[in-house]
Amino acid sequence: MSVVEQYARAHIVTDADLVEEERTAVPVVLRYDPDDDPRAVRVGLPGTHEWTIARALLEQGLRAPAGSGEVRVWPCGRVQAIVEFHSAQGVSVVQFESKTLLRFLRRTYTATAQPVRN
């Protein structure tokens, strides 16, 4: 099976006073490796922050609030979604365009589809 990797841009949501350059979108890597774990996706944030979350949780969170514990996902209006990551160092709140996450999820399901062999 093939690995799906998609580069995206997202906004880190914070209540800190930011200068204009810090308000721009940051690069994020969405990754799915069915050989590693067919039920999980990885979200790579700038720096060395990478989170593993259930693919089903990401999908559910695009329709309604989902998750508990370390990762929570919910729709934000009609075109955006929020992914919230909790750790001992604090909370990271990342805002994506929903269509970016949907496109990625579609690609992961295509990657896991087994070809029919005779």
Q: Tell me the pLDDT tens digit for each residue of 54-89.
A: 999 999 999 999 998 899 999 999 899 999 988 887
Q: How far apart are CA 87 and CA 105, in angstroms?
A: 25
- Quick check: pTM over 0.75? yes
Instruction: Please give the average per-residue pLDDT across 18-45, as a whole number.
Output: 83
CB atoms within 10 A of CB 86: 16
Can you give the pLDDT at residue 57? Answer: 96
pLDDT beyond 50 at 19: no
Instruction: Please give the average per-residue pLDDT across 12-41, as a whole number.
Output: 78
- Band (pLDDT 50/70/90 cuts) for residue 116 is very low
